[in-house]
Structure 1
């Protein structure tokens, strides 16, 4: 196909035309020495193999342009064509449209793209959608020659698969009436890449928003739960206010769990990975899972006998499996069967699932499948988005699957879903197999609370949030510590400028206006190398783990924390 402008200048040649001719030509006489060109007839043309006869069809476009189609290998007809007789032979998907939108002619490539056997007298709006404005207005502008851009991306109305087409309109005058030639190009791959990019940008933006909101909420929850702990210390269980304070504390903990889910989705939570066997983890979890699914649902587990170990956060992975099992249970209100299958998976080549590409290597696969109502195709792509739920209002937060997605991705794995209405759903989690053949390391035991110990030390507390600083200061003072407060890193360094001041432990927020926690601590340790450090933050430890690793005798305390957690960790740093 060629696009020819005024003075027979060749403005465009598609790849097939360049291959036939062997070069990018500048003018029509280089292709066809005997002008003018005879449309619908055999013309002598110059090709890479020499001169030959070729059937050529010329259609009038807009602004003095013409579309010229070369049909090598097609014999000339015995009758004189009118220029439209070869429409079906053209290799490019084409539609001839009336100005009102009815299809007057179509060729086979166009019908194949549209997924129909015939479309004559069918309106374009019945074949395509997604323009964003009435299709008749768009066609009317093109037929009247208004505007300059007559190319749009549209979705083809097909039931078998999703197809997008780029539609370019060219105005042609026939018998004094304006008709439109629509040139179609399959844009499915382009729109898929665009949708993948948009989805990635959206997920990243939501993740950043969730991480920021979670940080601010963790500060608020630290102050709420902390002051509630202080009040509980002054009330006995028989006191009338004690039950109300317990309710406040419990709901603050529930809010903290919700914030933890937001952090999981945004992949900014603190993970405690360990090497483990999924079979052992599921064996410990089976009792709880059976209680979750109830009596109407059967839970069936099947394991690979030589399952590889993985490196993951056990508590977070348990959360993933519980979320998947609960979703499967809710999809079967009348009861049914949930299967959990683990197996080794070795990929010799990249595995492509939707828009994700899994690199070759050894993986451990965990599948959770149900016999439920299934998920509609239009909802399947949204199930991992936060706050999206197919359940009725009040039956779910919309964070279960998004939390699972965040945890799996932060662990370095993949999660996929397959489903169809009435055929249940199958979720597959792929986690990298751990390559080290050393014996599995058990989860570290939590450090026991130190009931006694040195509690007469001096603590420098640096926190820009006044409510959090007030609670932490009171909690440490009640335990017997001397507390020096600073609302910024600069204030802390000014205090430490007093050479006779003795400080045993720095307790500091990580993210603050001005200097951040790790920066001011490194400066302070130049003159006081023996001081231990407690970093506290509403963000995940991973966000500054590299900085913390360079600071000796430092530990991390995630927000929100309780009175006991704060005093215990400071006592351990004193030891």
Structure 2
């Protein structure tokens, strides 16, 4: 009986079946003959290898040897091909990752496998090669590798490490840079959080623990700058931050974070601050030196006038003219100290609400006289119906100083423009002077077409005693005073100058609140009759006993003579301690105490505080050459130095008369 299978068709001889199988497989499939000739390939194989069907079926497997590489980039010989081993051994070969360079130069990566095809007699007739395209995965892995390498290099350059902590296992994972920052050998790191805390500066451990707790409990990003101590004992400053992350189910979590070594940055910042402080100190010393030199120069000139006239009076008896010159010199000295106080922002201001144009109008006559015939004062007053709250005297002083400065910048004469407007300062000016945003300010410009200022001079123009004028012309205080007044009034002063074209000084003053009316803001002062000395002397004379407490011997001597000439009995003391001794002995006889505010050992306020509980009705007058705080200024009356005999005697008589009225 014939073999039923003898007439059956061999499945391997059916090209239609083989072709169907080849095309149905989703990966690449290549049919290779026993001699390595490529007999068939499915479309996926053609796509991966970048070949047409005709091109690939005219090749042998060995033709790809020069185009095939291993994962490490080394060439792959034909003997390593899975198809070669399958044809040689008759056994199926496991997957091998290889890269094949396509005709277009790109490399396709795939996992190649091979299975032999044998006849019914066991003869190897060929092989089926299958492969899956993993090019995208390989490229992603390569990109990931490059990214990790780039990140590692960036972390090294930035001294930035990253870490991951699993609270459930208390395991901590560090990047290489974390080990470098902490100076720890990875082989000696056990991955426990306690190990990290042991490397933290003892004073900062609690703060670091709090940061970790906050990250775990809040889920928010937390950060902290703290110190670590390396195993070698060196200290580093680090910035650390962490954040809680959870899995997609919201259950399992870990904390990830970063740590940066900022030691060098902080050292550079500290060094920069030290250099800036040294520079500021040098500038302060330069300013103080210039200030001292300017004050000494001006006061020496004034003292020369006083001393010279005293000698002339002693030698030639020319007392009238000498005393007139001495009075003028003393008045100028008082004006100089007033300017210094204004510059130093220590002079008290008497703020009243006024229309700025009225103030300017009040100054026009004086300004035109000061400027002279070669200068034209041009008024461009656009800021109508506005009110500012200013000290009248200081506003006038600023206007005069700026106009004189403009005059001196135009030695040949020319127009000086005083212009007003209402404006909101720009952002740079607001930030520089801490001005209120959104508020309107009165802007007063003083414009000249003079020599202008160099860039270097513009930086220094508001410094005290800095001047571009020749030796002996000007004190260098005018613009410094304007600066101080602007600050005291909550405003600003700005300069725009072009060398050779001229300058514009702009003063900004805040507008007054609209609530109060102008009429109410301006106090109505009645002229006070002035007592006359020598002829009307009786009005200021007296026979009461006065305790004069003054630490400056010369000032005390002058005051004693003034008071005694007026008929008063004067007891003197050099400070509060001496005054207490005198007062304990003569308290019943003393009708008035004149107290200098600032004295060694015990000042005037302290003395007054000690005696007023026992003698609440005792009349007291304070004298001072200093500016007073608002609280101290509440203690009245105050006679400010330098004072003349009339001012002192008026204050004395007023207080004594007030005391007698109270007793009566």
TM-score of the superposition, structure 1-length normalised?
0.59
Give the drift of 1:298.
1.3
1:352 matched to which residue of 2? 429
The whole-number CA distance in structure 2 between the counterparts of 1:353 and 1:225 is 47
In the alignment, structure 1 residue 532 sits paired with structure 2 residue 619: yes
Q: Are residues 269 and 198 of structure 1, via their aligned partners in 2, closer, same or farther at CA, if it must alter by over 3 Å?
A: farther
Give the drift of 1:426.
0.9
The whole-number CA distance in structure 1 between the counterparts of 2:656 and 2:139 is 91
1:562 matched to which residue of 2? 644
**SS of structure 2 residue aligned to 1:418:** strand
Deviations 1:355-386 (A, max 9, x none): 43322223222111111111111110100001
Q: Are residues 503 and 489 of structure 1, via their aligned partners in 2, closer, same or farther at CA, if it must alter by over 3 Å?
A: same
The whole-number CA distance in structure 2 between the counterparts of 1:209 and 1:503 is 47
The whole-number CA distance in structure 2 between the counterparts of 1:295 and 1:304 is 26
Q: Are residues 254 and 390 of structure 1, via their aligned partners in 2, closer, same or farther at CA, if it must alter by over 3 Å?
A: same
Instruction: Kindly indicate whether the alpha-carbon contact (under 8 Å) linking 2:291 and 2:465 is maintained by their aligned counterparts in 1.
Output: no
1:299 matched to which residue of 2? 377
Please identify, of 249-258 and 286-295, the stretch whose mean Cα deviation from structure 2 is larger.
249-258
The whole-number CA distance in structure 2 between the counterparts of 1:283 and 1:210 is 34
In the alignment, structure 1 residue 572 sits paired with structure 2 residue 650: no
Aligned pairs for 1:108-127 (under 5 A) are none
Q: Are residues 501 and 246 of structure 1, via their aligned partners in 2, closer, same or farther at CA, if it must alter by over 3 Å?
A: same
In the alignment, structure 1 residue 277 sits paired with structure 2 residue 355: yes
Instruction: Kindly indicate whether the alpha-carbon contact (under 8 Å) linking 1:517 and 1:535 is maintained by their aligned counterparts in 2.
Output: yes
2:398 matched to which residue of 1? 320
The whole-number CA distance in structure 2 between the counterparts of 1:325 and 1:434 is 25
- RCO greater where, 1 or 2, for CA within 8 Å and sep 6 or more? 1
In the alignment, structure 1 residue 449 sits paired with structure 2 residue 536: no
Deviations 1:4-36 (A, max 9, x none): xxxxxxxxxxxxxxxxxxxxxxxxxxxxxx9xx
**SS of structure 2 residue aligned to 1:373:** coil
The whole-number CA distance in structure 2 between the counterparts of 1:443 and 1:269 is 24
Give the drift of 1:539.
1.0
Question: Which of 346, 371, 374 pairs up with 2:449?
Answer: 371
The whole-number CA distance in structure 1 between the counterparts of 2:138 and 2:283 is 52
The whole-number CA distance in structure 1 between the counterparts of 2:653 and 2:332 is 27
Give the drift of 1:351.
5.0
The whole-number CA distance in structure 2 between the counterparts of 1:309 and 1:208 is 40
TM-score of the superposition, structure 2-length normalised?
0.52
**SS of structure 2 residue aligned to 1:431:** strand
Instruction: Kindly indicate whether the alpha-carbon contact (under 8 Å) linking 2:290 and 2:464 is maintained by their aligned counterparts in 1.
Output: no
In the alignment, structure 1 residue 393 sits paired with structure 2 residue 471: yes
Q: Are residues 493 and 255 of structure 1, via their aligned partners in 2, closer, same or farther at CA, if it must alter by over 3 Å?
A: same
The whole-number CA distance in structure 2 between the counterparts of 1:533 and 1:208 is 39
2:573 matched to which residue of 1? 486
Instruction: Kindly indicate whether the alpha-carbon contact (under 8 Å) linking 1:207 and 1:265 is maintained by their aligned counterparts in 2.
Output: no
The whole-number CA distance in structure 1 between the counterparts of 2:286 and 2:649 is 37
Question: Which of 366, 373, 381 pairs up with 1:288?
Answer: 366
Question: Which of 518, 537, 546 pairs up with 2:631?
Answer: 546
Aligned pairs for 1:174-573 (under 5 A) are 202=283, 240-304=318-382, 306-346=384-424, 351-352=428-429, 355-360=432-437, 361-435=439-513, 436-438=515-517, 439=519, 440-442=521-523, 444=525, 447-451=528-532, 452-453=539-540, 455-498=542-585, 501-540=588-627, 543-549=628-634, 551=635, 554-573=636-655
**SS of structure 1 residue aligned to 2:548:** strand
Deviations 1:124-175 (A, max 9, x none): xxxxxxxxxxxxxxxxxxxxxxxxxxxxxxxxxxxxxxxxxxxxxxxxxxxx
Give the drift of 1:447.
4.7
Q: Are residues 208 and 373 of structure 1, via their aligned partners in 2, closer, same or farther at CA, if it must alter by over 3 Å?
A: closer
Say what the alpha-carbon RMSD is for the aligned residues: 4.6
The whole-number CA distance in structure 1 between the counterparts of 2:470 and 2:286 is 27
Deviations 1:451-480 (A, max 9, x none): 415622222110001100000011011112
The whole-number CA distance in structure 2 between the counterparts of 1:431 and 1:197 is 34
Q: Are residues 68 and 484 of structure 1, via their aligned partners in 2, closer, same or farther at CA, if it must alter by over 3 Å?
A: closer
Q: Are residues 207 and 556 of structure 1, via their aligned partners in 2, closer, same or farther at CA, if it must alter by over 3 Å?
A: farther
Q: Are residues 292 and 68 of structure 1, via their aligned partners in 2, closer, same or farther at CA, if it must alter by over 3 Å?
A: closer
Give the drift of 1:533.
2.3
The whole-number CA distance in structure 2 between the counterparts of 1:427 and 1:197 is 31
The whole-number CA distance in structure 2 between the counterparts of 1:571 and 1:394 is 44
The whole-number CA distance in structure 1 between the counterparts of 2:354 and 2:285 is 30
Instruction: Kindly indicate whether the alpha-carbon contact (under 8 Å) linking 1:331 and 1:374 is maintained by their aligned counterparts in 2.
Output: yes
Give the drift of 1:302.
2.1
Q: Are residues 346 and 558 of structure 1, via their aligned partners in 2, closer, same or farther at CA, if it must alter by over 3 Å?
A: same
Instruction: Kindly indicate whether the alpha-carbon contact (under 8 Å) linking 2:540 and 2:566 is maintained by their aligned counterparts in 1.
Output: no
Instruction: Kindly indicate whether the alpha-carbon contact (under 8 Å) linking 2:490 and 2:510 is maintained by their aligned counterparts in 1.
Output: yes
**SS of structure 2 residue aligned to 1:322:** helix
Aligned pairs for 1:68-217 (under 5 A) are 202=283
Deviations 1:491-529 (A, max 9, x none): 212222247523332211111101221121122211221
2:221 matched to which residue of 1? none
Q: Are residues 68 and 208 of structure 1, via their aligned partners in 2, closer, same or farther at CA, if it must alter by over 3 Å?
A: closer
**SS of structure 1 residue aligned to 2:589:** coil
**SS of structure 1 residue aligned to 2:606:** helix
Instruction: Kindly indicate whether the alpha-carbon contact (under 8 Å) linking 1:45 and 1:51 is maintained by their aligned counterparts in 2.
Output: no
Deviations 1:211-235 (A, max 9, x none): 9x989x99xx99x989x99x99x9x
Please identify, of 324-333 and 393-402, the stretch whose mean Cα deviation from structure 2 is larger.
393-402
Give the drift of 1:52.
6.1
Q: Are residues 292 and 548 of structure 1, via their aligned partners in 2, closer, same or farther at CA, if it must alter by over 3 Å?
A: closer
Please identify, of 498-507 and 462-471, the stretch whose mean Cα deviation from structure 2 is larger.
498-507
**SS of structure 2 residue aligned to 1:358:** coil
Give the drift of 1:296.
2.0
Normalized per residue, the structure richer in helix is 2
Q: Are residues 458 and 447 of structure 1, via their aligned partners in 2, closer, same or farther at CA, if it must alter by over 3 Å?
A: farther
The whole-number CA distance in structure 2 between the counterparts of 1:358 and 1:197 is 29
The whole-number CA distance in structure 2 between the counterparts of 1:200 and 1:286 is 42
Q: Are residues 414 and 504 of structure 1, via their aligned partners in 2, closer, same or farther at CA, if it must alter by over 3 Å?
A: farther
